[in-house]
Amino acid sequence: MFIEPSPIGRKYADQKGQIEVICGSMFSGKTEELIRRLTRARLAKQHVEIFKPSVDTRYHDTHVVSHNETSIRSTPVSFAGDILLLSGTCDVVGVDEAQFFDEEIVRVVQLLANQGKRVILAGLDMDFEGKPFDPMPKLMAIAEYVTKVHAICMKCGDLAAFSYRLSAAKEKVVLGEKDSYEARCRKCFHEETI
């Protein structure tokens, strides 16, 4: 069971840095959980900065938007290093779709946490082939807290941990929604990929 660390009453200078990773398949509520944690940090009067990869324009150019249409303003960035430059003196850094960043995100996140910031990342832990989606495994390894969320399998209704691509595209990154992907349980995912 995940118990969210209490951000209430901490000042930036006293804050101990930490890394939190929210991972799972598509349609599992990763972004919804990220927005919830960032909103709570704001309610606690903490200075929050939110970032997303500039390639992700599915719902909005400058907002992080969940599949349930909950949204929060963010700063689109092209490189992980931009997060380090733009986070300034904030208390909490949020990053959505972390899997779209290169390996530099691991170093950036560690530097931010070592500066005393609470860093919360959300991203896919596996790609459309069911393989670990780099750099997420490394982020999960260095995190103090990892939360894996699950979707519902669109074939059988069980818990789903896999993102099944509906098209024949072979590129690792293909942005899409319900027209391009379905959440699948292990059994239903492998029935169609083997």
DSSP 169-188: ---S-----TTTEEEE-HHH
Q: What is the pLDDT of residue 170?
A: 72
β-sheet bridge partners, residue 123: 23
Length of the chain, please?
194
Average pLDDT, the chain: 86
Q: What is the pLDDT of residue 62?
A: 58
- Are the beta carbons of 135 and 23 closer than 8 angstroms? no
Q: What is the pLDDT of residue 9?
A: 40
Tell me the domains of the chain and their CATH numbers.
15-150 (3.40.50.300)
The mean pLDDT of 121-126, rounded to a whole number, is 97
Among 49, 97, 103, 171, the active-site one is 97
Q: What is the Cα–Cα distance from 22 to 64, expressed in whole angstroms?
A: 15
Check if 97 is active-site: yes
Q: Whose CA is closest to 155, among 182, 137, 121?
A: 182
Q: Among the listed ranges 24-28, 99-103, 170-174, which one has the minimum average pLDDT value? A: 170-174
Q: What is the pTM of this model?
A: 0.85
Coil, strand or helix at 27: coil
Secondary structure (DSSP) of 57-76: -SS-SSEEE-TT--EEE-EE
